[in-house]
A and B are shown apart, each in its own frame.
Chain A
Amino acid sequence: MDDFEKELKIGFLQEAEQLLTDTEQCFLELETNAEDASLLEKIFRLAHNLKGSSKAVGFDSMGQFTHEFESLLLKIKNKDITSTTGVLNLLLRCNDHLKQMVGALTADLEAKVDSSSLMSEIEAASRGELVEAPSEPEAEAVTEPEAEALEEAAEEIAHQEAESIPSADAFAEPPADVPAPSSNEDVGAMLAAQTSLSIEEQFLRAQQEFESKPQTSEPTPVAAPEPVATVAASTPPPVAAAAVTPTSDTAAQKKSTTPPADDSIRVSLSRLEKLLNYVGEMVILQSVLKEQSGAFQTLTLRKTVQQLGKVTKEVQDISMSLRMVPVKQTFQKMQRIVRDTAQMLNKKVNLQLQGEETELDKTVLEHLGDPLVHIIRNAVDHGIENAELRKQRGKPEQGTVNLRAFHEGGRLVIEIKDDGGGIPGEILHKKAIEKGILKPGAPYSEKEAIHLIFHPGFSTKSQVTEVSGRGVGMDVVKTNIERLSGEVQIQTKLGEGTTFRILLPLTLAIIDGMVIRTGKERFIIPLGHVHETLQASSYQLEYATGVGEVLNLRGENLVVYRLDRMVGQKSQVEDGKGIAIVVRTQERPFAVLVDDIIGQSQIVIKQLGTELAHMKGYSGSAILGDGRPALILEVAELIKKYDIKTKPEPTAPRRTA
Chain B
Amino acid sequence: MSQANERYLGFTLGEEEYGIPLLKVREVIAIPEITPVPQAPKHYLGIMNLRGQVISIIDLRQKLGITAKTGTENAVVICDIGGAQLGIVVDSVNQVHSPAPDEIAERPDLSQSKSAQYITSVYRAQEKLVLFLDIAKTLDLQDQSLIKKAA
Contact = CB atoms under 8 A, between A and B. Distances in A.
A621 B47 CA distance: 9
A292 to B, nearest CB: 15
Contacts of A611: 44, 56, 58, 86, 139-140, 143-144, 147
Contacts of B49: 623, 627-629
B68 interface: no
Interface in B98-151: 139-140, 143-144, 147-148, 150-151
Interface string B20-44: 0000000000000101111110001
B136 to A, nearest CB: 11
Interface residues of A, number: 31
Interface string A626-657: 01111100000000010000000000000000
Which residue, of A606, A622, A641, has the highest number of chain B Cβ atoms within 10 A? A606
B55 interface: yes
Interface in A332-372: none
Nearest to A614: B147
Contacts of A610: 84, 140, 144
A614 B144 contact: yes
B96 interface: no
A133 to B, nearest CB: 54
Nearest to B47: A629
Contacts of A281: 52
A437 B136 CA distance: 39
Contact of B54 (A566, A569, A617, A629): A629
A643 B58 CA distance: 28
A114 B103 CA distance: 57
A403 B73 CA distance: 61
B37 A612 contact: yes
Nearest to B83: A610
Contacts of B13: none
Contact of B151 (A285, A616, A629, A630): A616
Contacts of B85: 609
Contacts of B36: 521
A641 B151 CA distance: 8
Contacts of B39: 567-568, 615, 617, 641
B53 interface: yes
Interface in B45-67: 47-49, 52-56, 58
Contacts of A617: 39
Contacts of B54: 606-608, 621-623, 629
Interface string B66-104: 000000000000000000111000000000000000000
A614 B147 CA distance: 6
A608 B56 contact: yes
B55 to A, nearest CB: 7
Contact of B148 (A280, A606, A614, A623): A614
Interface residues of B, number: 28
B44 A629 contact: no
B89 to A, nearest CB: 14
Nearest to A620: B54
A569 B40 CA distance: 14
B35 A628 contact: yes
Contacts of A284: 52
Nearest to B32: A628
A563 to B, nearest CB: 10
A629 B39 CA distance: 17
A12 interface: no
Contacts of A641: 39, 151
Interface in A453-492: none
B151 A614 contact: yes
A618 interface: yes
B99 to A, nearest CB: 30
B51 to A, nearest CB: 8
Contact of B55 (A521, A609, A613): A609
Contacts of B40: 612, 615
Nearest to A563: B38
A609 B52 CA distance: 14
Given A606-B53, A627-B49, A629-B47, A612 B147 contact: yes
A608 B151 CA distance: 16
A606 B35 CA distance: 14
A7 B102 CA distance: 48
Contacts of B48: 629
Contacts of A614: 144, 147-148, 151
A622 B52 CA distance: 9
Contacts of A612: 37, 40, 44, 56, 147
B151 A615 contact: yes
A641 B48 CA distance: 25
Contacts of B55: 609
Contacts of A568: 38-39
A285 B95 CA distance: 35
A610 B81 CA distance: 10
Contacts of B84: 609-610
A281 B58 CA distance: 24
Contacts of A607: 54
B46 to A, nearest CB: 8
A612 B84 CA distance: 12
Contacts of B151: 614-616, 641
Contacts of A622: 54
Nearest to A278: B52
Which residue, of B37, B55, B56, B147, has the highest number of chain A Cβ atoms within 10 A? B37
A622 B54 CA distance: 8
Which residue, of A284, A521, A569, A609, has the highest number of chain B Cβ atoms within 10 A? A609
Nearest to B147: A614
A629 B35 contact: yes
Interface in A528-585: 566-569
A628 B47 CA distance: 9
Contacts of B148: 614
A566 B56 contact: no
A40 B81 CA distance: 54
Given A281-B52, A631-B37, 10 more contacts: A606-B54, A608-B47, A609-B56, A611-B147, A615-B150, A621-B47, A623-B54, A628-B49, A629-B49, A631-B47
Interface of A: 280-281, 284-285, 521, 566-569, 606-618, 621-623, 627-631, 641
18 contacts: A281-B52, A284-B52, A569-B38, A606-B53, A606-B54, A609-B85, A609-B86, A610-B84, A610-B144, A611-B44, A615-B40, A616-B151, A618-B37, A628-B49, A629-B35, A629-B54, A631-B35, A631-B37
Q: Which 8 A-B pairs have the closest CB atoms?
A: A567-B38, A606-B54, A281-B52, A614-B147, A609-B56, A621-B54, A629-B47, A629-B54
